[in-house]
Amino acid sequence: MSVSSTPAIRREDLAELNERFETASPEQILGWAVTTFPTDIILTCSFQHEGVVIAHMLRSIKPEIPVVFIDTRFHFKETLEYRDQVTNLLGLNLKIVESTVSFEDFKAKYGADLNQRDPDLCCKINKVDPLLSALKGVKAWINGRRRDQTAERSDIGFVDLQGPIVKINPLAAWHSKDTFRYLNAHNLPLNPLFDRGFTSIGCEPCTALPTDGDERSGRWAGSGKRECGIHTILDSSGESNGND
Ligand code: SF4
């Protein structure tokens, strides 16, 4: 599925850009992003902690930026309540996207426990496809990935390309504690699930308490699955990479 055409940043320019951003603050990176992409730019937010930090930073940089939340229909109720609390508090331009397959049809066709039998298919229907739909016409996508989240993310740049879309990762060099410190310093509320020991929060059926020092170890715990697919679905041509 094609989501855009030619990336607005050339792959050969990424190294210089990322070297420059090693000494930049997240706010400076965001300032560059919204200047380079005055339109067709979004922030995705799953209402854990990183996305809320970025949404708060953008309030004084580009408050009208669309904040895309993928409603998988499997979220914790605490996350949905927190989403609404933060949206009201920050006045976010929230865009909720969800599968074109109704939840009733999904359950009838696949069963509500598809996540246990085929989590990749479940993620495709409920997360990846809705995001691909939201990415149509988008040139730049701000997100909250950090290098210290997992080994797979340890080398992400501040700016990279996913197919034709410019991915902007302003918190790439931050640690988890930096995000919590930022929320605390700005009197921002916290997703209450963190107080219950969760260190990474996704859909309720696929989120458990961490099993080791890897903060995402409670996600699809024991299955070997590491990513839902939204950050890996597009290959360099901008087409679906076969996960579907
Ligand atoms: S995280 Fe789990 S419940 Fe959510 S879409 Fe993926 S497999 Fe389904």
Tell me, in angstroms, the distance from the centre of ligand 1 to residue 149's CA. 19
Low-confidence ranges of the chain (pLDDT < 70): 1-7, 234-244
Q: Which helix (H) or strand (E) holds 29?
A: helix 26-36
Its domain, for residue 161, covers: 11-206
Two tokens, residue 70: 């993928």
* Residue 87 CB less than 6 A away from ligand 1: no
Tell me, in angstroms, the distance from the centre of ligand 1 to residue 126's CA. 7
* Residue 207 CB less than 6 A away from ligand 1: no
Tell me, in angstroms, the distance from the centre of ligand 1 to residue 183's CA. 27
Two tokens, residue 154: 């340890």
Tell me, what's the pLDDT at 3? 57
Tell me, in angstroms, the distance from the centre of ligand 1 to residue 48's CA. 16
Of 45, 123, 203, 228, the catalytic one is: 228
Q: Which residues are CB-neighbours of 168 under 8 A, at least 6 positions away? A: 29, 30, 33, 140, 141, 142, 143, 158, 159
| Alpha-carbon gap, residue 226 to 152, rounded angstroms | 8
CA 100 vs CA 97, 114, 190: distances in Å: 9, 17, 30
Tell me, what's the pLDDT at 243? 29
* Residue 227 CB less than 6 A away from ligand 1: no
Answer yes or no: is 236 within a domain: no
Tell me, what's the pLDDT at 170? 98
Give the CATH number, domain containing residue 66. Answer: 3.40.50.620
Structural domain count, the chain: 1
Tell me, what's the pLDDT at 244? 28
Tell me, what's the pLDDT at 107? 96
Tell me, what's the pLDDT at 194? 95
Answer yes or no: is 125 within a domain: yes
| Alpha-carbon gap, residue 94 to 58, rounded angstroms | 13
Answer yes or no: is 195 within a domain: yes
* Residue 74 CB less than 6 A away from ligand 1: yes
pTM of the model: 0.90
* Residue 122 CB less than 6 A away from ligand 1: yes
Query: Strand pairing partners for 75?
Result: 203
243 C-beta neighbours (distance < 10 Å), count: 16
Helix or strand or coil: residue 67?
strand
Tell me, what's the pLDDT at 5? 60
Tell me, what's the pLDDT at 7? 67
